[in-house]
Amino acid sequence: MSDADRIRAAVDTQRDECAAFLAELVRIPTVNPPGDRYEDCARLIGDRLTAFGYAVQYVRPRAPRDGPPRVNVFGRLQGQVARPTLHFNGHFDVVPAGDLAAWTHTPFGGEIADGRLWGRGTGDQKAGIAASIYAIEAIRRAGLALRGCVEQSATVDEESGGFAGVAELCDQGFISAGRTDHVIITEPLDVDRVCIGHRGVYWAEVTARGVTAHGSMPDLGRNAAQAMARLVTRIEHELGPKLEARITAMPVEPPAARHASISLNALHAGQPIDVEQTPMVPDLCVAIFDRRFIAEESSGDVRREFDAIVAQEAADDGDIRWSVRELMLVEPTATPADGPVAQALRSAIQAVLGRPAAIIASPGTYDQKHVVRRGGVADCVAYGPGRLETAHRPDEYVDLEDLANATQVMALAALALLG
């Protein structure tokens, strides 16, 4: 048998074991926010890595953070030589389940039915963690020894920026150009696609401050909510068309996301909805805007353009005081489609699925931003089981066939990269 045939056979024999491990992960509701059950999930992953021969460490953020404790797990499997080193990373925080009535499967049940494993976080992205761990285990069970080293990390808070997760691993030196050669982030972007990067994001909080008054005499006040409504309208009709006309050359999927864009992410003014109301003109309104920018735009221009449209609104209404606060800025990131890790995955996809891999870029951002910019590791892509369109939706799932195929692809890629 060839090495590829041995790996295929090993993946087949451990299918049920891999799926059962994924189901265990899904049954731990690591919901972010607030960051529940992180330690339980990290320990489960760490115990499996230890059982498979990894030296395991638990990595916590150095600075205190609000909410439940943050803990990441890092494992290293020593090869015959120290370099090259291939690092697999996946995040185990998941978004809330939302309206339970919209689910036909229990969100944290880890149910297997109809050839799929169902539950929040199956695709995004606990399936990727299971696949990368069992990919390397398939190599071992196939009787093959890797020359280079493998690292596996499972991290927190990716859904809220990854700063306590992969960013912390980079800042503490667990992922760095001095020790890491290749990185595969196991995001769910379809089993036949290699993701080379992502768009940029700028989140801005805008505050409008007016003057309160009795609701029966609104002219005596300055309504901050109505002022914000005018700004939202201005952004939609003046800035929106300009962004729609800007198109990137990056292969972002879906194609509609190749345009620059802006959306209203959150809005609040006045009294809380669930209390008895009193007649008050709201004197404070806060909105958060989500601006996605393309590689052809500079972050400086993005900031200036946004500030300018807020300034225009301020000039038209001098009775409202405006302020803008930056919440997050992530630069667009991309690695060459012919880089070593992308090439290894493309060859493996062709071998396993019998068709060429598609090269794409992500419409959102993910932890590649930290690996490249904080860790200094340029050879980084995303690849994993799961379909992007199921992420964050009711009845999230991963196809078990995709889980097995991605496991095999990762194993063959690791063999190509590490020897």
Show me where the domains of the chain are located: 3-198+332-418, 200-330
Report the pLDDT averaged over residues 354-374. Answer: 95
pLDDT tens column, 219-250: 999 999 999 999 999 999 999 999 999 999 99
The whole-number average pLDDT for the span 15-29 is: 98
Residue 66 above 90 pLDDT?
no
CATH no. of 200-330: 3.30.70.360
- pTM metric for this prediction: 0.91
Q: Which ranges of 142-223 does DSSP label H, i.e. alpha helix?
A: 166-171
- Strands (E) in 3-130, as ranges, are 55-59, 72-77, 85-91, 111-113, 116-118
Write b or e for each residue in 305-322: b if 16 or more Cβ atoms lie within 10 A of its Cβ, otherwise e: bbeebbeebbeebeebeb
- In this prediction, residue 296 carries a pLDDT of 97
Average pLDDT along the chain: 96
Hey, do 3-198+332-418 and 200-330 end up sharing a CATH topology, with the first three levels equal? no
Distance CA(264)–CA(205), nearest Å, equals 10
Q: H or E stretch including 263? A: strand 261-269
pLDDT in tens, 195-221: 999 999 999 999 999 999 999 999 999
- Region 125-131: mean pLDDT is 98
Bridge partners (DSSP) of residue 94 are 31
DSSP string, 324-357: EEEEEEE--EE--TTSHHHHHHHHHHHHHHSSPP
Contact 84, 417 (CB under 8 A): yes
Of all residues in the chain, the percent with pLDDT exceeding 70 is 100
Give the number of other Cβ atoms within 10 Å of residue 6's Cβ. Answer: 17
- 172 contacts 62 by C-beta, under 8 angstroms: yes
pLDDT tens track for 317-339: 889 999 999 999 999 999 999 99
Confidence grade of residue 64 (pLDDT, cut at 50, 70, 90)? confident
Is the alpha carbon torsion for 311, 312, 318, 319 positive or negative?
A: negative
CATH superfamily of 3-198+332-418: Zn peptidases (3.40.630.10)
Q: How far apart are CA 43 and CA 387, in angstroms?
A: 27
